[in-house]
Amino acid sequence: MPTTLAPDERVAFVFPGQGSQYVGMGKALYDASAAARQVFQQADSVLGFSLTKLMFEGPGDELEDTINAQPAILTFSIACLAAMKEKWTELGNAVQPLYVAGHSLGEYTALVAAEALDFGEALRLVRERGRLMKESSEDRPGGMAAVVGLDRETLQSICDEAAELGLIVVANTNTADQMVISGELSALDRAVELARGRGARAVVPLRISIASHSPLMQQAALHLAEVIASLDLKDPVTPMVANIQGRILTTAEEIRQHMASQLTLPVEWTHSVQGMIQSGVDTFVEIGPGQVLSRLIRKISRDVRAMALGDAELSGK
């Protein structure tokens, strides 16, 4: 709960990525928080259609479409942040994080939280990001699969072997033994088969028809870089820890360069979290839908505290 953070805790705010969306997300928060309600209403106004209706009522397959899922997750996460700040202001104990970070799409939320990017601009940007990714996947179909129980070296050798059938890469390192592979379907199928044969505890194809964080997104990344180049980015008020090599971004130019390449390069989440811990963070607050990141952080380190603030925690329901 928001009231349980002590003044001396060294906090990082972290924001989830695609896959965390669900029908009904944000409804309780909309009803409970005036600050969150304002965020939802702004999103509908900026996008020119009722994103909130899609979030609250579905249908699920339409919400899962990347062109809708991305702005929905961004909106809900920023609404949670607004509701959290509203509560903390009432209690007189607002918390200033040492760092912000996001998992893939969550980096756009982190930029808004760090006041480097305006929420309206971010919404338009992730909507376009979703459109470009969808377009790329239609040209070169791909997919992703989560692999649990193998180390990075073993998984890389599997990708190398499967690459004779097409492009395949390690796309996300979420913990030391939980990763995601991404690539063309024939190579992905082969890598899934090999991973099971090498003793993976679980191999789960993801419900996504896009090979994110792989070279298959190169065309989308080039177009997105053009859009990002024209944005009014500001130096972040709070440093952002990037997915790529856990780099700490403190200027608008560093952010611009990172976000232009983010779509094709792997998400090194473990590295990012470890970097924040080494820099003094002892408490991680996941803000947005689900609890994926806080669970991953607990696996990465047992010495830190990780909590999730979403609909239930912030609406009191």
- Tokens 């309780």 sit at which residue? 28
Q: In what order do the strands lie in the sheet with 248-249?
A: 248-249, 240-241, 99-102, 11-15, 283-287, 305-309
pLDDT for 157 beyond 70:
yes
pLDDT for 21 beyond 80:
yes
Chain segment 132-145, per-residue pLDDT in tens: 999 988 888 999 99
pLDDT at residue 5, rounded to an integer? 76
Last residue of a domain, one of 155, 177, 205: 205
Asked if 159 and 267 sit in the same domain, the reply is no
Q: What is the mean pLDDT of residues 179-199?
A: 97
Domains contained in the chain, number = 2
DSSP secondary structure letter of residue 116: S
Parent domain of 186: 142-205
Residue type, 137: S
Torsion of CA 69, 265, 200, 206, to 10 degrees: 20
Last residue of a domain, one of 153, 184, 205: 205
In a domain, 74, yes or no: yes
User: Model pTM?
Assistant: 0.95
Mean pLDDT of the chain: 94
Asked if 195 and 219 sit in the same domain, the reply is no
Annotated active-site residue 271? The verdict is no
Last residue of a domain, one of 152, 187, 205: 205
294's tokens? 């806080």
Helix (H) or strand (E) holding 99: strand 99-102
Specify the CATH number for the domain of residue 191.
3.30.70.250
pLDDT at residue 4, rounded to an integer? 63
Annotated active-site residue 103? The verdict is no
pLDDT for 1 beyond 50:
no
pLDDT at residue 63, rounded to an integer? 95
Specify the CATH number for the domain of residue 229.
3.40.366.10
Q: Which of 20, 77, 104, 214 is catalytic?
A: 104
Asked if 172 and 266 count as a contact pair (C-beta separation under 8 A), the reply is: yes
Asked if 220 and 245 sit in the same domain, the reply is yes
Q: Which of 103, 136, 213, 214 is catalytic?
A: 213
- Tokens 């339409």 sit at which residue? 62
Q: What is the mean pLDDT of residues 159-172?
A: 98
Asked if 17 and 212 count as a contact pair (C-beta separation under 8 A), the reply is: no
Give the pLDDT band (50/70/90) at residue 208. confident
pLDDT at residue 123, rounded to an integer? 97
Asked if 84 and 220 sit in the same domain, the reply is yes
Q: What is the mean pLDDT of residues 182-197?
A: 97
Q: What is the mean pLDDT of residues 59-79?
A: 96
Chain segment 280-289, per-residue pLDDT in tens: 999 999 999 9
pLDDT for 7 beyond 90:
no
In a domain, 17, yes or no: yes
Tell me which residue of 52, 257, 224 sits closest to 128, measured CA to CA: 224
Helix (H) or strand (E) holding 172: strand 168-175
In a domain, 210, yes or no: no
In a domain, 198, yes or no: yes
Give the pLDDT band (50/70/90) at residue 3. very low
